[in-house]
């Protein structure tokens, strides 16, 4: 492979769609972004992307070769190339996104969800280089996961393996957006820690600045800032979040036996206030043969471009 | 491969060690067994096996070729070829079992634990033929598991992936032999369902023939027979077991996305009284994209020879 080859990485979000031209070393040679316009059909987005990516390509030397297009999108099914019932896009039950891109490009095109893209990005350009068994957990509005085992991302028989956000913490627990009860992401995510704070405010009497905020006002960032100042409710919320996450990560280790677990995304930015107790709880609940052998790490990919790098890695991984 | 090739399959148990000569189609061409003599060192067992297997080989035609030796043993580490702290064998901290066999044989030799062997047996000779993603759960004294993803058995970074028996059901729950609390196998296994019956006898007042039995007398077979006769305690114990198993199987699906889960071993022989409610509970707790897509099946391998077939499959899988 020569250094004049790039892959188009595209990250489709509910608000913004980011894209970039990424070489085999993970260098973002050029980048851009457009509003997703979630109410418009997918065709429109693809047409607009085609135009913008074409302009971006011209910013590079004329001999740069496109090797493929990797796309990260919510509810993406890698096996079928489709996006199914995306929560924040008005695209309907199923859109064959790969086919829409094939109208414009005669290149390898692949699609996956954002957590799988993060795992591939970590494997090719981040802290998981050289690892054959690891897990990436994305902690944002929800909890996503990408599992790599034997050097390959797991898609499973249905094309959607690695949905740790919907494992069961408490069968009679919090109602999840997915329709089930007690899913991990209702406890461990930006939204989950807010719910935990409200539960603690209801159960305990500690004075806390968090008592001044409505449910709509509260964010995980506010909780993090309160924890940094030693607020007991915020600290208890992080501890409870870490314990739940630690237990479920110990379970995940008992499935695929990873050498490392990477945390990525908004809530992971809380750093040690989450990472240190999570590692401790995970160790406590690990089956003995795994103890001391699983690293818990923050993703080493830059937050701003990780999604585009991960999407591009989908193609570089296949080459 | 020609049909005159066989693999030596060996299953080392705490009481008996079974062995057989298995062809590529899973036919057991000859078989035998010896007492393990758990108090003797591993060297002694290997020397005795060498003698017996030699005699067995002579019972086949002279042109039969040995292709390798596959061994199933408790606490086997495939990566290192070792058996570590086996619970029912007086072998010490670590025995290099592969090396011991190499004293006698210049053949490919591999070792794995019984649940992984069951998974390989199911893949090559049983109901999982042609499947790339499935899980085998062995329900005996404990709960073991072998996970196949992307067509390969998962060993993980430490060589011991697939220990679902030690995932967490209840962090404050029953004490497990492994030293942790609330492990799945303390609820779902032959021993687990006995504990559940004792818990139900303590909580409820239903008349039941099970009230006549001591903890030492009670077996999962007795509970099964009581359930068949409609005993309410036994039925409640199977329902509780099925619910716990169903929830944890739904979690397992969210990790690797299998198309089928096979139940194997003593408790699985209970059949529909366990299988039907487990499937129902699993469906209830499955994340929506998986619903209706995961079969729950009984192993199709013959109980008596499954361990030897599985051990042999370890070699046939590698060829």
Kindly report, residue by residue over B193-251, the tens digit of the pLDDT.
999 999 999 999 999 999 999 999 999 999 999 999 999 999 999 999 999 999 999 99
- Looking at residue A2, its pLDDT comes to 56
For the segment B54-66, what is each residue's pLDDT rounded down to a tens digit?
999 999 988 999 9
| pLDDT of amino acid A43 | 95
**Cα B207 from Cα A55, distance rounded (Å):** 80
Contact (CB, 8 A) for B74 and B54: no
Helical spans, DSSP H, in chain B: 42-58, 97-102, 114-125, 190-203, 220-228, 232-256, 272-285, 306-318
What is the Cβ-side half-sphere exposure of residue A225, based on CA atoms within 13 angstroms?
A: 7
- Pairing of β A65-72 and β A5-12: parallel
Q: Which helix (H) or strand (E) holds A220?
A: helix A220-228
**Contact call for residues B50 and B34 (beta carbons, < 8 A):** no
Interface probe for A, chosen from B254, B293, B296 (most Cβ of A below 10 Å), is B254
How far from chain centre, in Å, is Cα B245? 16
Asked whether the beta carbons of residue B167 and residue A132 sit closer than 8 angstroms, the reply is: no
Nearest-CA distance from A60 to chain B in Å?
38
Tell if the CB–CB gap between A133 and B257 is shorter than 8 Å.
no
Residue B20: partners with Cβ closer than 8 Å, 6 or more residues away: B8, B9, B28, B29, B30, B31, B32, B56, B305, B308, B309, B312
Quick check: B256 and A257 CB within 8 A?
A: no
Structure tokens at B64: 């039969």
Residue B2: the pLDDT is 57
Tokens for A122? 């970590």
pLDDT at B142 over 70: yes
The tokens for B200 are: 């139900």
CA dist., res. A121 & res. B210, Å (int):
57
Distance from C-alpha of B258 to C-alpha of B184, rounded to nearest angstrom:
19
Using a 10 angstrom Cβ sphere, with 0-12 exposed, 13-18 middle and 19 or more buried, the burial of residue A124 is buried
Complex ipTM value? 0.93
Whether B87 has a pLDDT exceeding 80, the answer reads no
Instruction: Tell me the C-alpha distance between A14 and A64, whole Å.
Output: 31
Assign residue A85 a region: left if phi > 0, alpha if psi is -120 to 50, beta otherwise? left
Give A218-221's long-range contacts (Cβ < 8 A, gap of 24+).
A218/A194, A219/A190, A219/A194, A220/A190, A220/A193, A220/A194, A220/A266, A220/A267, A220/A270, A221/A266
Starting at the earlier edge strand, list the strands of the sheet with B76-77.
B76-77, B82-84, B94-96
Residue B247 near chain A (CB below 8 Å): yes
How many other CB atoms are there within 10 angstroms of residue B127's CB atom? 18
Does the beta-carbon distance from B180 to A285 stay under 8 Å?
yes
> Phi/psi class of residue A245: alpha, beta or left (left: φ > 0; alpha: ψ in -120 to 50)?
alpha
Three-state secondary structure of B293-317:
CCEEEECCCCCCCHHHHHHHHHHHH
Residue B212: per-residue pLDDT? 97
Q: Express each pLDDT in B166-186 by its tens digit.
A: 999 999 999 998 899 999 999
Cα distance between residue B127 and residue B138, in whole Å: 15
Question: What CA–CA distance (Å, rounded) separates A158 from B293?
Answer: 8
d(CA A209, CA A218): 11
Supply the mean pLDDT for chain A. Answer: 94
Q: Does B288 touch chain A (CB under 8 A)?
A: yes
**0.90 exceeded by pTM:** yes
A275 touches chain B (CB under 8 A): no
pLDDT by residue, tens only, chain A of 319 residues: 457 899 999 999 888 999 999 999 999 999 999 999 989 999 999 999 999 999 999 999 889 999 999 999 988 988 899 998 887 788 988 999 999 999 999 999 999 998 999 999 999 999 999 999 999 999 988 899 999 999 999 999 988 899 999 999 999 999 998 899 999 999 999 999 999 999 999 999 999 999 999 999 999 999 999 999 999 999 999 999 999 999 999 999 999 999 999 999 888 888 899 999 999 999 999 999 899 999 999 999 988 888 899 999 999 988 7
| Nearest residue on chain B to A156, alpha-carbon basis | B257
CA of A2, closest CA in chain B: separation in Å? 30
Q: Do A133 and B149 touch (CB under 8 A)?
A: no
Q: How many CB pairs under 8 A join A and B?
A: 141
Closest C-alpha to A38, from A75, A88, A2 = A88
Beta strand A82-84 with A76-77: parallel, antiparallel or unpaired? antiparallel
Pairing of strands A260-264, A295-298: parallel
DSSP string over B97-124: HHHHHHTT--S-EEEE-HHHHHHHHHHH
């Amino acid at each position: 492979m020569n250094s004049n080859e790039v892959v188009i990485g595209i990250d489709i979000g509910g608000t913004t769609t980011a894209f970039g031209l990424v070489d085999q070393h993970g260098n973002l040679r050029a980048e851009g972004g457009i509003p997703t316009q979630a109410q418009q059909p997918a065709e429109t987005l693809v047409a607009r992307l085609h135009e913008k990516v074409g302009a971006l390509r011209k910013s590079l030397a004329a001999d740069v070769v496109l090797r493929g297009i990797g796309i990260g999108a919510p509810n993406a099914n890698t096996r079928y190339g489709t996006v199914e019932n995306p929560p924040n896009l008005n695209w309907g039950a199923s859109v064959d996104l790969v086919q829409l891109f094939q109208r414009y490009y005669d290149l390898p095109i692949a699609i996956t969800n954002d957590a799988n893209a993060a795992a591939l990005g970590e494997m090719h350009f981040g802290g998981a280089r050289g690892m054959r068994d690891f897990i990436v957990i994305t902690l944002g509005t929800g909890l996503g996961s990408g599992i790599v085992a034997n050097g390959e991302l797991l898609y499973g028989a249905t094309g959607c393996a690695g949905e740790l956000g919907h494992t069961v913490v408490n069968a009679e627990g919090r109602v999840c957006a997915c329709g089930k009860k007690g899913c991990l992401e209702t406890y461990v995510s930006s939204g989950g820690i807010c719910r935990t704070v409200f539960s603690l405010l209801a159960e305990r009497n500690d004075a806390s600045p968090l008592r001044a905020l409505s449910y709509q006002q509260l964010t995980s960032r506010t909780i993090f800032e309160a924890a940094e100042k030693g607020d007991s409710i915020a600290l208890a919320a992080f501890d409870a979040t870490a314990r739940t996450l630690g237990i479920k990560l110990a379970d995940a280790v008992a499935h695929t036996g990873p050498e490392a677990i990477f945390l990525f995304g908004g809530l992971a930015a809380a750093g040690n206030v989450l990472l240190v107790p999570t590692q401790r709880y995970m160790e406590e609940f690990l089956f003995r043969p795994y103890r001391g052998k699983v690293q818990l790490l923050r993703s080493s990919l830059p937050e701003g471009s990780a999604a585009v790098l991960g999407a591009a890695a989908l193609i570089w991984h296949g080459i």
